[in-house]
Structure 1
Amino acid sequence: MAILKFRIYFEEDESIYRDIVIKHTQLFSELHEAILKAYEFDSKHQATFYRSNDNWQQGREITLAVYDKTYKAPPLLMSETTIGSEIKIPNQRFLYTYDFNKNWSFLVELINVSKEESAKTTYPSVARKEGIGPSQYGTKGLLGEKFADVEEKYDLSQVGEGFGEKDEDGEDYTSEDSNEVEGGEDE
């Protein structure tokens, strides 16, 4: 059985990617779910794959559902289409779009085909993660999810009561004072 390794690049930054291994007999719906899991996205929105060429042009569409839009050709459904059936060239590419309002776009490229299946691996599986992926709904970064939760719960951009611009003696704190404190005064 062929094991396919796809590299899924975040379209806006190709240094951010996830490698996913999947059997050629598995469905596009499984690849779709693996991509969402790898980038820590939920599965609440519409999605579609497009078969693509070396120039990343949109080809045949493989959708999660038939959407209310005009298609050049009838779309294939992710839940009925095996990945192996759409591999036409050795370095096959797909475009993947998730959440048509936010328009998250990913570049999906076949980077390896192996005949050896690992008994320890449950397919599909994330084989490699590079870079901090985008946050689906807000801030995410080096500080992690807990900081993002705090940031969402409390509006940290507003100065709260008790945190005004006065020093300990109750005097207004001005930029002149800050220069004296930072630079120090010659006495």
Structure 2
Amino acid sequence: MIYRFRVILDVDTDVFRDIEVESHINLEDFHKCISTSFGFNGEEMASFYKSDEDWNQGEEYSLFDTEGDTPVMADTILESVMDEDNRHFLYVYDFYNMWTFFVDLKEIAPEVEGVSYPHILASHGFVPADAPEKNFVAEDFDEFDSEFNDFEFDQDEFDEYHGYSEDEYYS
């Protein structure tokens, strides 16, 4: 089977590629296809993340084995992690610049005889010279204050420790 994707670069202008790949390739080959279709050399660190329709980041598939529990792209077949019910990936290329892509499975179709895969169906827009700055927003952890109050203490608790005096330390 063939998977038809729209891969959208997360920048201010419209930059996307429509790509067809065979469903039985591994994620490392898919990574190479995406990175080269956008003009990158494919040699930087990268990861795929399962995602939902709201583009929330899920399970990671890393390019390199990090000796942890993270599955590796080379060992993960595309059709084993993406199907009719699981149609979205986030793809991050070059962890220094954090190029981020939205990978959306648009269609599953039979192979077309005479077509060589991977196949770029459409290419729109140009990759900017510099990656956009990412603003990561932390969750509001105030709701945990009552559960995790390890840092609540009485200032007088520390007066007894070794006769410590800030005046002596900073003089």
Using structure 2 for the length normalisation, give the TM-score: 0.70
Partner of 2:116: 122
CA offsets 1:61-115 (integer angstroms, 9 cap, x no match) = 11111238xx7xx211111111100015446100000110111100000011112
Partner of 2:17: 18
| Whole-Å separation in 2 of the counterparts to 1:59 and 1:128 | 28
| Whole-Å separation in 2 of the counterparts to 1:88 and 1:55 | 17
CA contact (8 A) 1:27 1:82 kept: yes
Any residues of structure 2 matched to 1:1-187 within 5 Å, and which? 2-13=1-12, 15-67=14-66, 74-90=69-85, 92-115=87-110, 117-135=111-129
| Whole-Å separation in 2 of the counterparts to 1:17 and 1:90 | 23
Task: List structure 1 segments (4+ residues) > 3 angstroms apart after TM superposition.
Answer: 88-91
RMSD, aligned α-carbons: 2.0
- Letter of the 1:97 counterpart: V
CA offsets 1:126-153 (integer angstroms, 9 cap, x no match) = 111011223469xxxxxxxxxxxxxxxx
Between structure 1 and structure 2, the one with the greater Rg is 1
- Letter of the 2:116 counterpart: T
Alpha-carbon offset, residue 14 of structure 1: 6.4
Structure 2: tracts of 5 or more residues without a match: 132-171
- Letter of the 1:103 counterpart: M
Matched length: 131
Taking every aligned residue pair, what percent have the same amino acid on both sides?
A: 29
Instruction: Summarize the Cα distance change of 1:114–1:88 in structure 2 as closer, same or farther, 3 Å threshold.
Output: closer
- Letter of the 1:32 counterpart: H
**Secondary structure of the corresponding residue to residue 29 of structure 2:** helix
Structure 1: tracts of 5 or more residues without a match: 138-187
CA offsets 1:37-64 (integer angstroms, 9 cap, x no match) = 1101012210000010011111111111
